[in-house]
Structure 1
Amino acid sequence: MTAIDGPPTSRRRHVLRLALCLAFLSTMFYLVAIARVIDVDGIRTLVAATGPAAPLAYAATAALLGATFVPGPILAAGSGILFGPLVGTFVTLGGTVGSATCCAFLGRRAGHASARELLGTHRAAALDAQLRRRGLWAVVGQRFIPGVSDAMAAYLFGGLGIPLWQMAVGALIGSTPRAFVYTALGASIGDLSAPLAYTAIAVWCVVAVLGAFTAHRGYRLWRRSRADSTVAATP
C-alpha cells in the first residue's frame, strides 16, 4: 500500500499544506514582481554605500531579493550599473546561485514531505531516480526557457526534492548567458548603441532560441515518457 492510499484526513492535510504554500508564493510573486512593493533602487543605493564590500553585499542582497521574486533582470541590470559588465556578471551569478539554493532549500522544507506523501512510495521513488539522472539538466533547461519565474521554479524543484548541489550548479550553468546579457545591458544603459549592448542583445536572441528549443524538446520527451508508461501499464 502506498502513502497515497493512506487515511483521507492525512491526504487532506498534505493537500492543504501544499495549497497554502502555493498561495503564499503566489501572493509574494504578485506583491514583489508585479506590484513592486520593494524599492530596488533604494536598496541598490544602500549597498553602493558599503564601499569595497559592495560586490559581496549586493550578491547577498540580490540572493534574498531574488528569493522574494524581485525580477532577476532588474537585479542584474543594477549589478551592471554599479560594477560594470565584468565584475557585475560575477556578482549577478553569485546572487542568482544564492537565490536558487535558498528557494530550493525552503521549497524542500515546506513541501517535499507532503509531495512525497501524495505521490506515494513508488511514484516518489521513480521521481527520485529521475532527479538523480536528469535533475541537474532539468534546472539548466529551465533557466533557458524565457518567461518562467526562476524563483518559482526553484521552489518547485525544492518541493520535488532536487538535491541542493544540483540546484546550485544547474543555476550557475543555465543562468550564465542571461546574467551576462542583463548585466551588460545595465552597464550600457547610458549608451545602448555601444558594441557591448549589441553583443548582449545578440546573446539574448541566441538564448531565446535555445530556450524555445529546450521547451519543445522537453515537452516531446514528456509526451513520449507518458506514452511509454501507458503502453507498459496496458495488460
Structure 2
Amino acid sequence: MTATVRRLLRQPAAVRFAILLLLVAACGVLLLVVPRPDPSELPGLADRLGTAAPVAAVAAGALLLVALVPRTFVTLASGAIFGPFEGAAYALTAALLAAAVGFTVGRLLGREFVAERVRGRLARLDGWFTRQSVFGVITVRLLPIAGFGLVSYGYGTTGARLLPFLAGSVIAAAPSAFGYAAVGAAVASPGDVQWFAVAPAGLGLIASLVLVRHWWRAERRRRAAEG
C-alpha cells in the first residue's frame, strides 16, 4: 500500500465519502466530454497490439467500466475486435476486474461513513445487502437502476460480501455479454459472423431468470419463517 493510499485511509470518514462522490462525478463528466472511438477502427487494434491484445483489452475494458462507461459499449467493442466468443470472454473478465475495483474503492472510501449514519429503513436495507447471496446480487444487477460501475461503487458502501458480489455480477453479465459481443462482431465483419454465437445469450438469460426465481422463493420462505 502506497503512502498516498495510507494517508487517504487515515482521513475522516466524511472526507473519504466526499472523495468518493467527487470521483464518481468526475467520471460522469468525463463520460460526457471524451469522444468515443470510431467502431470501424476497432478491429485493427488487435493486429497492432499482437499477443498483448487480450491483456490490453481486459485492462482497458475494466478501466472504462470503473470510469462509468456503459458495459454495452465495452462488450460491443470487444466483440468487434476479437469476435463473438473471445470478445465475450474478455468482456466478462474485464467486468469481473472492474466489479472488484469498484467494490473495493466504495468499501474503503464510503463504507464507514454509511455504516455510521444508516438508521431505520436504511439500516434494514443495509442489513439486506449484508445477508445477500449470489442470487440477490444477480437480481440487483439485472434491474435497470444504474450502470455497472455505479452499482459496484454503491455495493462497496454497503455491508455486502465481496465474493458473492463478484460471482453474482459475472453471472448477471454473462447473457448480454455473449449477445452484445456477437452484435459487435457482426458490425465489424458481417460476412464472418456465425449467428449461433448468440445462442449462449439466450441460454444465459434463461439461467438467470431461473436463478432469480429461485432466490425470490427462498427470500419469501425466509421471511415467512421469520414472521
TM over 0.5, yes or no? yes
CA shift in 2, pair 1:179/1:27, >3 Å: same
Contact 1:188 1:197 in 2 (8 A): no
CA shift in 2, pair 1:26/1:40, >3 Å: same
Aligned to 1:152: 150
CA shift in 2, pair 1:125/1:145, >3 Å: closer
CA shift in 2, pair 1:126/1:83, >3 Å: closer
Aligned-pair distance for 1:64?
A: 1.0
CA shift in 2, pair 1:20/1:132, >3 Å: closer
Q: Distance in 2 between matches of 1:135 and 1:170?
A: 8
Contact 2:45 2:81 in 1 (8 A): no
CA shift in 2, pair 1:191/1:68, >3 Å: same
Q: Distance in 2 between matches of 1:60 and 1:48?
A: 17
Matches within 5 A, 1:4-19: 18=17
Q: Distance in 1 between matches of 2:58 and 2:91?
A: 7
The letter for the 1-side match of 2:144 is: P
Contact 2:130 2:159 in 1 (8 A): no
Contact 2:62 2:98 in 1 (8 A): yes
Aligned-pair distance for 1:66?
A: 0.5
Q: Distance in 2 between matches of 1:175 and 1:125?
A: 27
Aligned-pair distance for 1:135?
A: 4.3
Q: Percent identity between the aligned chains?
A: 26
* Pairwise CA RMSD: 4.2
The letter for the 2-side match of 1:144 is: L
Kindly provide the CA deviation profile for residues 142-200 of structure 1, in whole angstroms up to 9, marking residues without a partner as x.
222236211111100001132221221111111000111111110111539x7628947
CA shift in 2, pair 1:48/1:68, >3 Å: farther
Aligned to 1:182: 180
Matches within 5 A, 1:115-194: 115-119=114-118, 127-128=126-127, 130-146=128-144, 148-189=146-187, 190-191=189-190
Q: Which runs of 5+ in 1 are unaligned?
A: 1-12
Contact 1:185 1:197 in 2 (8 A): no
Q: Distance in 2 between matches of 1:40 and 1:98?
A: 22
CA shift in 2, pair 1:195/1:39, >3 Å: closer
Contact 1:103 1:155 in 2 (8 A): yes
Q: Distance in 1 between matches of 2:135 and 2:69?
A: 24
Kindly provide the CA deviation profile for residues 18-40 of structure 1, in whole angstroms up to 9, marking residues without a partner as x.
455335413422431xx151544
Aligned to 1:70: 69
Aligned to 2:113: 114
Q: Distance in 2 between matches of 1:40 and 1:161?
A: 38
Contact 2:111 2:157 in 1 (8 A): yes
CA shift in 2, pair 1:87/1:198, >3 Å: closer
Contact 2:74 2:91 in 1 (8 A): yes
Aligned-pair distance for 1:114?
A: 0.5
Contact 2:132 2:160 in 1 (8 A): no
Q: Distance in 1 between matches of 2:137 and 2:106?
A: 15
1:196 aligns with 2:195: yes
Contact 1:63 1:98 in 2 (8 A): yes
CA shift in 2, pair 1:167/1:177, >3 Å: same
Aligned to 2:90: 91
Kindly provide the CA deviation profile for residues 98-150 of structure 1, in whole angstroms up to 9, marking residues without a partner as x.
11111000000110010111126xx869835x345324323211222236211
Q: Distance in 1 between matches of 2:140 and 2:195?
A: 26
Aligned to 1:37: 34
The letter for the 2-side match of 1:78 is: A
